[in-house]
Each structure stands twice: as structure tokens, then as C-alpha cells.
Amino acid sequence: MATAFRILLLLITFSDSLVSTLGHGIGINYGQIANNLPPPSHVVDLLKSLNLSRVKLYDADPNVLAAFANSNVEFIIGLGNEYLQKMTDPAEAQTWIRQHVQPYISQTKITCITVGNEILTSNDAQMMSNLLPAMQTMYNSLSNLGLSKEVYVTTAHSIGILGNSFPPSAGAFRQDLANYIQRILDFHSQTGSPFLINAYPFFAYKDNPGHVSLEYVLFEPNPGMRDPGTNLNYDNMLYAQIDAVYTAIKAMGHTDIQVKVSETGWPSKGDPNEVGASTDNARLYNTNMLNRIQQHQGTPAKPSVAVDIYVFALFNENLKPGPSSERNYGLYYPNGTLVYDIGSASASATATASASASASASVSPSQGYLPLPQMDYSASKKNVISFFNVLLLPVAFLVCAL
């Protein structure tokens, strides 16, 4: 055991050139549609050691919430689409909060409930009609229980709710969704909650690689695209999409609602027809995006408003339906090894060193997991760290604890 620990320390000593600058404004989506993921108790120890501050769930898994007690990690918890109709009933909503929020909130920081996911693009008329009433009922129930100032209520939308996304100054919501969105925006304005979007430039590139610049979607150097309405230049698609949403919201009479990105990422693998799905592109997208956010830049139209993003996702999830890409958005494999290196100039060197450390320390998937790189911190902090050091220190901690 002592030998293994010394090996890890030596790796740390020789890792000074692998510096990654990661910053605030980043959270991580912790999906669990898989049968081979590490238990929450393993995940919490590792993420706590990295001072991770924000995690988004798609449910209110009691095992996760209990495991993260006293961790100072802030959670967004989710109310599944299948519960919307039931949650329009005040008694049901209050019962749900009593069961899924109140038992944990004194020790686990629950700051938000997302009511449904991408409902307005589901083509389910019943769910679309139930969405706002369910949000209102959840908010009122939180108020009745004295929790509405601690926990805000929102929902996550696909970027597909936009009828026009470029140029950003002409951003507009789909006309067939206007009545739903107008009332949802009024709710956000009244309650002070943000408007969440799931935005994936990957899809735009995959569907039209001949006309969409890969450099533009990957935050790589490129001349950008100029918005003729504002004369602002956009050098990446994600920021253009965010500003298009702001424009669409403003067109509906609101300038007091913040837009946050509840999901964005890039798959490391896909089917043959999923152009652009690769390890290299996933690494470039996430690394470049994180570096951009670390610079504390807003979007061209909102330069003073920090970009707020939750990366999708923590792990690859082997039971997700759909094309291969759906199962390959994770930063980590379920056994705890990195899918690719984020924030390092030498992915192969890090991968080799990590593999050597794991082999020397004999850390099996049932005993310990390699940690997530430092993806998110409180908004008041800015950290310049060695990615590789952060990668290995918690491994050393786990090895010694075994």
C-alpha cells in the first residue's frame, strides 16, 4: 500500500506541466440510466474531495441525496415527466415535497426542482397542458411549507423550442408554442426562477456537416459569424443559441429572466451516421467551453452576465435508448476511468499515467473510482489547478483508505 501511494506521489510530482484552468459557472449532470454505475457513496467521496459544488439529477434519488448529506454540494432534483398530471393536485405536490425534499434539505442542499424535461417538444398535448399548472402547484406547495425561498421551480427545454435561432438578434420561439411559453415566462418573472435550455451544437453539426463549421461548434479558432442586426460577432454556436433565447424572451416582454444551460455536451462515440461523434471532438468541445467560461465572459449580447452551464454528463449510461451517442456523453466510464482527458495538453500521457497508477495501486471497480476533474465551484471562486494533480490526489486518498 505504501508503495502504491509513493507511485501516486511521484506521478503528481511529474505532472506540473499538465495544468488546467477550470472555473465557476459549471455544474455536472449525474444521470443514472445504467446498471453498472458506482454507488453514490463512492461518487460523493470523490466529488467532495474535488470541492464540486453543483450537481443536477433527473429524479430525487434518496440514495444520492442521503449520500451527499453535509457535502455542501448544491442539487437540482428532477420531477419526471410521468408525474406532471399528478403534480397539478396540491395535495399530491405537497406529499411529493414532504417525501423527496423535506427529509434531506436540512443536510443536503437542494436548490431547485425541475418539473419535467423537454415537455414542449414532446408532442404530448396532455403533458404540455399540465406543465405550467404542475410548476405553479409545486411552487405554491413549497411556499406553504416555507421552502420557496430556498428552492426554486423551473423546467428544462430543448433548444428546439426556437423557431429561429440565427442570427441571434432574430431569435424567436416556435409560433405553435408561444402561448405555453408566454405563461411560463410570466411564472419565471413572478418567482425569480431561471429559464433552462438543453443546447447541443453537436446536433446541428451532425445534421448538416457540409454547412456548419466544425471549428465554430467546437469553440476552436474561426472567423465567426456576424449578426447583421447587432453587428456582434459570434465565434461559437452555443453562445449564439443562448443569445437567441434571450432575444426570444425579450420579444415576449421579459428582460428580467436569466437563461441557464441545463445540458450541453458532446458524445465520444456514435453510430456511423452520427457525423462528428468522436473522442477528439468531445474533448475539444468540453475543454474549450470550460476554458471560455473560466475567462468570466458573457455572451456577445450579454457580456456582463456569466454563462451558467451544466455539462452532460458524469458517466456513460449503458441503458439509455436511442443511437449510440446517447450512451457516450460521459466524462467517465462506469469503472471510473476517464473517457478522455479534459484540460490537459497531453491526453495520452495522462491516460497512460492514470492507468499505471491504477494498476500499481490495485484499485478495482468495487473498491474505488478515479475522480471527476474539477468541473464546478461556487460562483465566488476562481481556481487555477493542475488537472493531473487533482486527478491523482483523491485516488491516493482512496487507495490509503482501502
Catalytic positions, please?
118, 263
- Cell numbers standing for residue 237: 454556436
Contacts of 281 (CB under 8 A, 6+ apart): 202, 214, 218, 266
Q: What counts of helices (H) and strands (E) characterise the chain?
A: 12, 14
Backbone angles phi, psi at 120, to 5 degrees: -70, -15
CA-based end-to-end distance of the chain: 9
Strand partners, 114: 78, 154
Q: Read off the amino acid at residue 147.
A: L
Sign of CA dihedral 288, 258, 267, 351: positive
Task: Answer yes or no: are the C-beta atoms of 77 and 108 closer than 8 Å.
Answer: no
Contact predicate 219/289, CB 8 Å: yes
What is the rounded distance in angstroms from the CA atom of residue 60 to the CA atom of residue 77?
A: 5
Q: Which residues contact 380 (CB under 8 A, 6 or more apart)?
A: 24
C-beta separation of 55 from 27 below 8 A: yes
Q: Could you tell me which residues are beta bridge partners of residue 54?
A: 74
* Nearest residue to 290 via CA among 304, 309, 305, 276: 309
β-sheet bridge partners, residue 154: 114
Instruction: State the DSSP H helix or E strand holding residue 28, giving kind and residue range, or none if neither.
Output: strand 26-29
- Residue by residue, DSSP assigns 171-199 as -EE-GGGHHHHHHHHHHHHHHTPPEEEE-
